Amino acid sequence: MEKAKDPLTGEEFYKKRSNQIFASRANQIKFNNKKAFRKRKAKSLPDKILDRSREVLKNILGDMESVERSYDFLLGAGLHFGFCTHHINIDGVKWVCIYDYAYALIDNKLFKIIRLE
């Protein structure tokens, strides 16, 4: 039997299978839960900012297809210009996207907001 070291507890144990990493199933679950918690914690602030910005764009757009608002208006409404999910180009215009909403600078400090299909 081969000896191994449990990554969670550091205890040495004899492997029952060649691919066994943890001394017990409980240690594996605890290790993976801690790993998932660290990942969720690392992503929580950006996710919170993106969710808030999406809600701002959703509320401003309402039922309209597009709307134009100033930089100051969007900033005051709570839009965070430092976070986005992706960028797209439509007819040579670069759109900043937050999930299913997008905005683009169309004039000096004037932005157009649309909902993506």
What is the reported pLDDT for 117?
84
Residues in Cβ contact with 115 at an 8 Å cutoff, skipping those fewer than 6 apart: 61, 65, 100, 101, 102
Report the C-alpha gap between 104 and 93 in whole angstroms.
7
Q: What average pLDDT does range 87-91 have in this prediction?
A: 95
In angstroms, what CA-CA distances link 17 with 11, 23, 24, 29?
Answer: 17, 11, 12, 18
97 - beta bridge partners?
86, 102
- Neighbouring C-beta atoms of residue 13, cutoff 10 Å: 17
Segment 28-44 shows an average pLDDT of 97
Structure confidence by residue, pLDDT tens digits, 98-108:
999 999 999 99
Look at residue 98 in the predicted model and tell me its pLDDT: 98
pTM for this one? 0.77
Picking from 116, 46, 107, 112, the residue whose alpha carbon sits closest to that of residue 74 is 112
Q: Quote the tokens at residue 83.
A: 């976070």
Q: How confident is the model at residue 81 (pLDDT cuts 50, 70, 90)?
A: very high
The DSSP output letter for 10 is -
Give domain limits for the chain.
3-115
